[in-house]
């Protein structure tokens, strides 16, 4: 049984743009591990690419960012706030991800203030890096 609140009870994202299925580790304000199981019927696979469905790299970055948002919004200091992308640096895509794959999403916050923050994350596929990036975000009123 998962001891952490479901992503849809913490994050403002909803289908079809909620990519995190569950959180299995959390240190509030610091780090988390999330999971995203790709079923194959996701909206982007039909056009990216016909005959070779591939998860767009930018959506891996978004999934990493959603785990980062989960970290932030799990902290009582940020109730009523909404973390928005402020930037994305050093994004690298190293493995193709497709239907049936499960990504393990790890995020560590490197800086937090009352108005903004930074973090770094990875999407792992079978223990190997599929994507890694650095995230910057700003906090606004929800």
* Per-residue pLDDT reduced to its tens digit, 38-55: 999 999 999 999 999 999
The DSSP result for the chain, as a single string, is: ---SPPHHHH-S--TTS----EEEEEETTTEEEEEEE--S--TTTTTS-TTS----HHHHHHHHHHHHHHHHHTSGGGTTEEEEEEEEEEEEE-S---TT-EEEEEEEEEEE-SSEEEEEEEEEETTEEEEEEEEEEEEEE-
List the catalytic residue out of 13, 22, 35, 48: 48
Contact assessment for residue 26 and residue 4, using Cβ atoms and an 8 Å cutoff:
yes
Domain-located, residue 36: yes
What pLDDT was estimated at residue 55? 98
Which residues on adjacent β-strands are paired with residue 120?
A: 108, 134
- Please give the tally of structural domains in the chain: 1
What pLDDT was estimated at residue 63? 98
Positions in the chain whose pLDDT score sits under 70: 1-2
- What is the Cα–Cα distance from 36 to 55, expressed in whole angstroms? 12
* Per-residue pLDDT reduced to its tens digit, 75-98: 999 999 999 999 999 999 999 999
Q: Would you call 73 helix, strand, or coil by DSSP? A: helix
What pLDDT was estimated at residue 1? 54
Establish whether 48 is a catalytic residue.
Answer: yes
Domain-located, residue 2: no
Q: Would you tell me how many other CB atoms lie within 10 Å of the CB of residue 98?
A: 14
**H or E stretch including 66?**
helix 57-73
Range of the domain at 115: 7-141
CATH number at residue 109: 3.10.129.10
**H or E stretch including 15?**
none
Domain-located, residue 1: no
Contact assessment for residue 72 and residue 26, using Cβ atoms and an 8 Å cutoff:
no
């Amino acid at each position: 049984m998962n001891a952490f609140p479901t992503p849809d009870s913490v994050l403002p994202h909803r289908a079809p743009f909620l990519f995190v299925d569950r959180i299995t580790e959390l240190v509030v304000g610091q780090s988390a591990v999330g999971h995203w199981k790709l079923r194959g019927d996701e909206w982007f696979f039909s056009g990216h690419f016909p005959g070779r469905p591939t998860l767009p790299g930018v959506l891996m970055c978004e999934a990493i960012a959603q785990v980062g948002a989960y970290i932030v919004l799990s902290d009582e200091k940020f109730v009523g706030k909404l973390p928005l992308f402020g930037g994305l640096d050093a994004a690298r895509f190293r493995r193709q991800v497709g239907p049936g794959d499960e990504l393990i999403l790890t995020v560590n916050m490197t800086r937090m203030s009352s108005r903004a923050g930074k973090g770094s994350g990875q999407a792992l596929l079978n223990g190997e890096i599929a994507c890694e990036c650095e995230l910057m975000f700003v906090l606004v009123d929800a």
